[in-house]
Structure 1
Amino acid sequence: MADEQNPQLPLGDGGNGDIGPGAANILPINVEEEMRRSYLDYSMSVIIGRALPDVRDGFKPVHRRILYTMHEMGLQYNKKYTKCAKVVGQAMGQYHPHGDSAIYDALVRLAQPFSMRYPLVDGQGNFGSVDGDPPAAMRYTECRMMRVAGELLADIDQETVDFVPNYDESTYEPSVLPTRIPNLIINGANGIAVGMATNIPPHNLTEVVNAAIEMVNNPHAGLAEVLKHVQGPDFPTGGFIYGRSGIAQAYKTGRGRFLMRAKCAIENLTQGRQAIIVSEIPYQVNKNTLIKRIAELVNDKTIDDISDVRDESDRDGMRIVIELKRGAEPQIVLNQLYKHTQMQESFSMIFLAVVNGQPRELSLPDAIRHFIDHRIDVVRRRTAFLLRKAREREHILIGYQIALDHLDQVIRIIRGSNSRADARENLFQFFSGKTITVGDQALKGVTLDPAKYAIDPATLIAPTLTLSYRQIDAILELQLYRLTQLSIDELLKELADVRDRIAEYESILASEKKLRSVIVKELEAIRKDYGDERRTEIIDEAAELKLEDLIADEQVAVTVSHQGYLKRTPISTYRQQRRGGQGRTGMKTRDEDFVSQLIVESTHAYLLCFTNTGRVYWLKVYEIPDVGAAGKGKSIQSLLSLQPGETVRTILGVRNLEEEGKYIFFATRNGTVKKTPLKDFSNVMSRGIIAIGLDEEDELVGARITDGKQIVFLATHEGMAIRFDEEDVRSMGRPARGVRGIELGKNDYVVGIAVTPKERKNENGVSCPCLILSVTENGYGKRTDVDEYRLQSRGGKGVINVKTTARNGKVSSIQLVDETSELMIISQYGKIIRIDTKTIREAGRSTQGVKLLTLEEDDKVAAAVVIPPEEAKQEQENGTLLQ
């Protein structure tokens, strides 16, 4: 960048040509390139050096360094415990220059039996719990390695792996552990790096080792052979894996999803009362949080059939007791718990590990194959190391053998030498065939025959056998008791044994098959010592038992109060009375509350609940509580996720939401109408969806199910009505606002909608009358044939429906009836009457009607609903209808 005063001068020039100190070392860089390079370096550092495990030993650097530190400190499984603080300090000071809390957290996880399928650290003290309790501070806890951890470090001192300088190059650490067990697979791993993550589930050691043995013997084995041995993940907390579908695909691609479930049993407490006993929970689920969640569901009335939840876990195992109410169905409660709690949890597998310094997603066979390749490398390097050591020992033992064959000369030379160095040189010269002088005596050197000592002449430096200085040093250090005949025999026997081992090592290095057989034997020993039974059981998916399966398919009356209380009651509860009767109490309400809606439907039907704001919610009739005829019911807010200010206006019963050729026809308060295909509402969503778009100050009045070719009837509060062909209204999508249905007068609004077929004929082809029953606020009503209302085009003003006066009041509602219909009328104060509609006089359009229900002075009609004729007929046959 140039100076602002003189663009030709470099930065730091004061204008006189002088450049500030150090300015000559400033280099211009591109910030974008520097950020890209630095972030890439950081990303790779996190990926390789912190977050992802190595495919060979399954460890991140911190875990590898912790175990190597414990190995150096001699904390084997059969040694005494040592303070965790000491291990953490040693690991941090020598190998892992990060925070002590990070190291201690990693050490704690290695010791937790609910986190690790095969724990590697034996902890003494508080190392946390499945309830989420934190571990004690590192100064209080002690640790040592588990026996299985020793298999991860076996042969590490035999040049089996590469050692690299530590962070300050003061010592060396292993780049990988020479593990004998496939730790990555049996213990799993999880970690989040930059732009990638890994989440490997734990597996059963016996199954994985069996699969590894299969692949060692058959290098071309694939997923099919592996799946013969590996059933699926095996979690330390047990439980179930629900469903086998997807396991093979997950192991093939390295990505998949497993559904975990708690292990439960049903116990009988007392007569009629049962309890669900949870003995195992899904992996990585907090037991205490699970119990709190169940309690919340009970308090929120989401699950009604639970009376108590308590934790009875102890040192013998987990035991969560969920007591059920009398008569509750345990399987249904279990299904609800699976749905709403972590008793059912998914595990998303991402089999990502570092392979040759690069992160790679692996299939299960690839992961096992990389472990086998690592074992081949370790065994080959170990064999080469042992071969070298055996040859070195053979070299010393041959020197002993030669010395023992010439023992008298050796003793004479040593006694006649002035010093150790003099004796060393005299022995070397003597066994080189040269004549030497010891004191005043001359000794003729010897020439040795290689064949006598079974030495390959090709390995000799000189043509004839001579002793090396290493052999001579060993002879000089030979203790006198080794000169006994017994010791001489032992030396010769050791030499034979060493030569046998050399031959064995050479054969292993020369034969791939033999090397693989060594690996198989070691894997079999691992399986024998550490193999165990599966803890997680894999079960097939089964059709869940739903509440619907236990509910009888019958007609019920569903009532909704003005303040949102909902209940269902068998319609047989209400006895039929004569016209003008006093009725009976159908719902106990508060003084300020009243019944606003009533609908009759099957218990197995869907209820499409349309609200005043134009939204629709779904509800199964059987989900509504049956609390008896006089019960208050349940708040609709606990059954539907209504938005603030929403009230349910229309409830339609539907058995098949996918039925073709069916429509929902809407009518709004301001006279707008619209029809939408029924299948547009088949995607059931608990939060509800928009059913019709509404203008401001408009709201939904009613909705009906049609076949798209019916006649629509709209009635208004002031006693007007219009009748038009449904085909005048084209089909529209859910968010559409619709078209004008009726032109309203001042202060008038739509109160009801009815639909009638164009052809009204019975089974015998005889024309059937279709009547509109209009009910007014003061309990009056009349029946009028729909043909009395002339067919018009939609959008007109309509004709008179009811002559409204102070005596009968404004129109409250309308219903479509025939000669077999029965009517239920409900008042705002909760009075209900059931009437045979044929007892109501048929009248023309411009009449006031007759009294249907005797009301108190300030009571009004809230709703009127027609009972299906087949239900009324069935009750009559059962003798439940009273005249």
Structure 2
Amino acid sequence: MTQTERYQDLPLEEVIGDRFGRYSKYIIQDRALPDARDGLKPVQRRILYAMYKEGNTNDKAFRKSAKTVGNVIGNYHPHGDSSVYEAMVRLSQDWKIRHMLVEMHGNNGSMDGDSPAAMRYTEARLSAISSELLRDIDKRTVEFIPNFDDSDMEPTVLPSRFPNLLVNGSTGISAGYATDIPPHALHEVLDAVLMRMDNPKATVDELMTVMHGPDFPTGGIIQGVDGIKKAYETGKGKIIVRSRAAIEPLKGGKEQIVITEIPFEVNKASMIKKIDDHRFDRKLEGISEVRDESDRSGLRIVIELKKDVDANGILNYLYKNTDLQVSYNFNMVAIYNRRPTMMTLPTMLDAYIDHQKEIVTKRSEFDLQKANDRMHIVEGLIKALSILDKVIKTIRASKDKRDAKNNLIASYAFSEAQAEAIVSLQLYRLTNTDITELKAEAESLKKLIAELTGILTSATKLKNVIKKELANVRKQFAEPRRSSIEEKIQEITITREVMIPSEEVVVTVTKEGYVKRTSTRSHAASNGQDFAMKETDHLLFEGNLNTQNTILLFTTAGNFVYQPVNELPDIKWKDLGQHLSSIVQLEPNESILAAYPFENFEDDAYILTVSKNGLVKRSALKDYHVQRYSRAIKTMNLKKDDAMIFAGVMKKETELFIGTNQAYGVRFPIEEIPVTGLRTAGVKGVNLKDGDEVVSAILINPDEKQDLILVTHRGAAKKMKLQEFEVGSRAKRGVVMLRELKSNPHRVVAVIAAAGKEEVLLETAKGIRTNLAANNLKTVDRYSNGSFILDEGSDGKVIVAYRIETKTEE
């Protein structure tokens, strides 16, 4: 007979949805999340129950871990041996569990993430406090269900005579749910339970007067009481956990940071490596050595610092950038009434209290049943001893044990259980002493029955029993709090001075965009001579700066580059610098206009910029202090046909002079330029004629003597007094600076401010350069066309003119 094939035609999404739904239900209820009553996941509960059932308890010798793992897998938890062993090891790690539930002999791992020894090498037994989790389990206090192969029974929950969910916390990830419940101090949790029992409406604020917050096995400092309160009220909240660190002085003016406690769940070896990586990668220059000096006596990490380093600054940097400080997010999800539930502190306490009421009630019922049964037997024995001769006579006259029991029941109205006890009585029990003992036992049983009946009929007595037993657990197992709690989360500010060593360097920037920093040693060795630069290039900036300074580079595209000096390429004086485009991305044809160094951005100063099309703009210096500077940042929002021709730092200057290509000059107060943000375009500074453009801008301090040197494209130059230009208002055409010629008129290349022995360098289209000393020029009026310095015909048109600062001899 052939077997017919049966199949169901079902949509794939239905099949997958159904299977995944079942899998999710299993993962959520029976694997990854703890029970709200005993705080255990199924694998943990099975390990503890298997050890208890095998007699592997605290008052007996240790047993091989492999034997326990085998029992757990064979009887209760049909999964991999390594996963069961890992769960068992975790229960024994005093840096993971606030009160260890398993004691282990041998290598059970370390805070450095080392693996434990194989289970064939280690030995384990239940800890003393685990006996409190399992106490009274044999008195029908919890529900038992068949194990996976129906060969044995296992508990669905443990009696849990202390609130394990809060004491040891829990962490886990299931399908769609995750849980993170931190551990707490046993005595504080028990005090909170007792308060909630006395006052079922106790608020979170009231409970927090006794239960202050988490207490991690690794200690540390917890910051953020508001986060704890929010978590207790809603189930979700955030706190900061930081290491306990102290700064100790060393010989020679040095200091060291000593860490004695680290945050919960942080891998110590990884944390130390990361701290050392910051030193090795030169992200943090103040550390000379990082050592792990931990031993049997406790944890100790030493961070030795270089001389004259701000230890607090280094510590703050490490708090912010390493696991020396971490955030802990509460996510208090547990299985409550067979459902995953976001638990608040009151619901957790209530779930535990309800569980204890059920446990004590069931235990009392069990003990009462046992006491009543024994009382019945004792009453039968007392009655039998009072008519002993008749009883003996009846038994002797019987055929066998069954007949003797039937005769006793029939003749003297004994029950089956009493008759069994009488016929099983040993002869020595017939002495006079035994009747006295039986009467004393009956009296004791009567009291016990009354007591148990009282517990079962009075809610107050039930509550008092639970409170008394919790008080005993508190007395026996309470430990001092390890983590300290600070109300506020400390805001960490890190100054650049902490991260960057102070070093004097020479910084140079050329017109064509080559930048570098050079050590003072390299500069001194060259005596400041033989600076590496292309022939067509010239120095735009040279200055002695500190590595903790910043330099701002302004470009023709209306951008600025924020460049910390310590991040400039360190290049020898005689070697060519690195082009700015390799540090930040620049637009095509974008070139550097100006470079200005700053120690900080707190000065009451402004950056003033001018565009070719006559726009002027003023922005506060503090706006130029940025955190992200991997690209050029907009400082003047220009149109496509425009370009920035000037950027200057304004401190005491009160006026601005603008010179145009067609030889117009305008002078006006800077106050007429409004202060705006970085991305604005600015306002009109000069009213340009068609075809005209701005070529120069000069910041003026009226208290300083200043002349103006004008250079034209035909190679002429002249010097004028600043007073030739009256102060007017912005957006005007201005006044002429040259006599107008009908044929081949002069066009202005640059207007340069001169106050002393400056030199002006003129460069022509043919590459000819000539220096002109400002003192050699005679002062003339606005209508003069000046003196010819170069011949336009043979030397070519002048295309560039700029000031060279002359170094005075010391």
Q: Which amino acid aligns with 1:336?
A: Y
Distance 1:568 1:775 in 2: 37
State how far apart, in whole Å, the 2-side matches of 1:824 and 1:263 are: 62
Match of 2:427 in 1: 480
Of the structure 1 ranges 254-263 and 357-366, higher mean CA displacement relative to structure 2 is found in 357-366
Equivalent position of 2:627 in the other structure: 685
2:88 and 2:679 map into 1 onto residues whose CA distance is 58
Work out the number of aligned pairs and report it: 743
1:45 aligns with 2:26: yes
Mapped to 2, the partners of 1:524 and 1:864 lie a distance apart of 87
How far 1:238 sits from its partner (Å)? 0.8
1:497 equivalent among 444, 452, 456? 444
Which residue in the other structure is 1:401 paired with?
382
Distance 1:423 1:273, change over 3 A: same
Q: CA deviation at 1:246?
A: 2.8
Encode CA deviations 1:28-73: one digit per residue, 9 max, x unaligned: 4344344433333332222222221111111111111111111112
CA shift, 1:217, in A, is 1.5
Match runs of 1:464-479 below 5 Å: 467-479=414-426
Distance 1:816 1:174, change over 3 A: farther
CA–CA distance in 2 between the matches of 1:388 and 1:589? 106
Q: Check 1:135–1:676 CA distance in 2 against 1; reply closer, same or farther (3 A cut).
A: farther
Task: Pick closer, same or farther for the CA change 1:159–1:557 going to 2, 3 Å.
Answer: same
CA contact (8 A) 2:667 2:726 kept: no
Counterpart of 1:529 in structure 2: which amino acid?
Answer: Q
**1:614-629 map, 5 Å:** none
The alignment partner of 1:157 has SS state of helix
- Give the conservation status (yes or no) of the 8 Å contact 1:337–1:343: yes
Matched position secondary structure for 2:133? helix
Equivalent residue letter for 1:516: K
Note the C-alpha offset of 1:132: 1.3
Q: Equivalents in 1 of 2:596, 2:607: separation in Å?
A: 12
User: Would the alpha carbon gap of residues 545 and 737 (structure 1) be closer, same or farther in structure 2, given more than 3 Å must change?
Assistant: closer
Distance 1:589 1:83, change over 3 A: farther
In 1, the alpha carbon distance for the partners of 2:618 and 2:427 equals: 109
How far the C-alpha of 1:196 sits from its partner, in A, is 2.5
Distance 1:89 1:700 in 2: 79
Question: What residue identity is the alignment partner of 1:597?
Answer: F
**Which one-letter code corresponds to 2:341 in the other structure?**
R
CA contact (8 A) 2:135 2:160 kept: yes
**How far apart are the structure 2 equivalents of 1:141 and 1:240?**
34
2:534 is the counterpart of 1:597: no
* TM-score normalised over the length of structure 1: 0.71
> CA contact under 8 A between 1:274 and 1:326: conserved in structure 2?
yes
Unaligned ranges ≥5, structure 1: 1-19, 433-466, 570-582, 763-767, 802-810, 827-836, 851-859, 868-880
Residues 118-133 of structure 1 correspond to what in structure 2 (within 5 A)?
Answer: 118-133=99-114
Aligned-partner SS, 1:203: coil
Determine whether 1:205 maps to 2:186. Answer: yes
Amino acid at match of 2:136: D
Aligned partner of residue 345 in structure 1, secondary structure: strand
Does residue 528 of structure 1 match 2:481? Answer: no
CA contact (8 A) 1:233 1:536 kept: yes
Partner of 1:874: none
2:116 alignment partner AA: P
Alignment-derived partner of residue 157 in structure 2: 176
* Paired residue secondary structure (2:472): helix
- Between the aligned partners of 2:788 and 2:230, the Cα distance in structure 1 is 72
Aligned pair in 2 of structure 1 residues 588, 42: CA closer, same or farther (>3 Å)?
farther
Q: 1:502: how far off?
A: 0.6
User: For structure 2, which runs of at least 5 residues remain unmatched after alignment?
Assistant: 739-747, 762-773, 790-799
Deviations 1:624-643 (A, max 9, x none): 99x9xx999xx999xxx964
Q: Structure 1 residue 862: deviation in Å?
A: 11
Q: Which residue of 2 aligns with 1:275?
A: 256
1:220 pairs with 2:180: no
Tell me the SS of whatever aligns to 2:138.
coil
Counterpart residue number, 2:461: 514
Decide which of 476, 479, 485 is 1:538's aligned counterpart: 485
The 3 A distance-change label for structure 1 pair 41 and 491 is same
2:174 pairs with 1:193 = yes
TM-score (norm 2): 0.77
CA contact (8 A) 1:599 1:651 kept: no
State whether residues 608 and 654 of structure 1, in contact with CA within 8 Å, keep that contact through their aligned partners in structure 2.
no
Deviation at 1:739, TM superposition (A): 10
Letter in 1 for 2:220: G
- Confirm or deny: 8 A CA contact 2:613 2:643 kept in the other structure: no
1:75-90 to structure 2, matched below 5 A, reads 75-90=56-71
Aligned partner of 1:114 in structure 2 is: 95
Aligned pair partner of 2:336 in 355, 367, 388: 355
Aligned equivalents of 2:529 and 2:239: distance in 1?
49
Task: Please tell me whether the aligned partners of residues 53 and 189 of structure 1 are also in contact (alpha carbons under 8 angstroms).
Answer: yes
Cα distance in 2, alignment partners of residues 589 and 198 from structure 1: 67
Amino acid at match of 1:685: Q
1:512-566 superposed Cα distances (whole Å, 9 cap, x missing partner): 1111111111111111111011111123546768659999xxxx99945566556
Residue 722 of structure 2 is matched in structure 1 by 785
Q: Check the 8 A contact 2:552/2:596 in 1, yes or no.
A: yes
8 A contact 1:721–1:798 mirrored in 2: yes
Amino acid across the alignment from 2:722: D
CA RMSD of aligned residues (A): 5.3
Q: Deviations over 1:650-681 (max 9, x none)?
A: 4475977899xx9865567x879685865994
CA distance in 2, matches of 1:290, 1:50: 31
Q: Percent identity?
A: 35
| C-alpha displacement of 1:202 | 1.0
Deviation at 1:174, TM superposition (A): 1.0
CA distance in 2, matches of 1:484, 1:781: 141
- 1:722-752 CA deviation, whole Å, 9 max, x = no partner? 76989999999866788999999xxx99997
Tell whether the 8 Å contact from 2:140 to 2:362 is kept in structure 1 after alignment: yes
Q: Which amino acid aligns with 1:422?
A: D
The one-letter amino acid of 1:91's match is V
Within 2, Cα distance between the matches of 1:382 and 1:654? 76
Give a deviation string over 1:230-264, Cα, whole Å, max 9, x none: 11111111111134343222321211111111111
Q: Distance in 2 between matches of 1:349 and 1:534?
A: 19
CA-CA distance at 1:334 after TM superposition: 1.2
Query: Matched residues in 2 for 1:362 and 1:38: separation?
Result: 28
Q: Find the counterpart in structure 2 of residue 579 from structure 1.
A: none
* Cα pair distance change 1:315/1:261, threshold 3 Å: same
Q: Report the 3-state secondary structure (helix = DSSP H, G, I; strand = E; otherwise coil) of the residue aligned with 1:271.
A: helix
Please tell me whether residue 372 in structure 1 is matched to residue 353 in structure 2. yes
Q: Deviations over 1:796-822 (max 9, x none)?
A: 999889xxxxxxxxx9998878x7x99
Report if aligned partners of 1:618, 1:685 keep a CA contact under 8 Å in 2. Answer: no
SS of the residue aligned with 1:170?
coil
Where 1:276 maps in the other structure, the secondary structure is strand
- Partner of 2:217, secondary structure, is coil
Mapped contact 2:103–2:125 kept (Cα < 8 A): yes
Partners of 1:118 and 1:588 lie apart in 2 by 72
Q: Which amino acid aligns with 2:402?
A: A
**What SS class does the counterpart of residue 225 from structure 2 fall into?**
coil
CA contact (8 A) 2:718 2:780 kept: no
Q: How has the CA–CA distance of structure 1 residues 129 and 179 changed in structure 2, closer, same or farther, with 3 Å as cutoff?
A: same
CA distance in 2, matches of 1:710, 1:590: 36
The one-letter code matched in structure 2 to 1:183 is N
1:430 pairs with 2:411:
yes
Q: Distance in 2 between matches of 1:824 and 1:406?
A: 139
Alignment of 1:324-363 (within 5 A): 324-363=305-344
> Does the Cα contact within 8 Å between 1:657 and 1:681 map onto a contact in 2?
no
Q: What is the alpha-carbon distance in structure 2 between the residues aligned to residue 697 and residue 290 of structure 1?
A: 54
Amino acid at match of 2:259: V
Cα pair 2:243 2:325 within 8 Å, conserved: yes
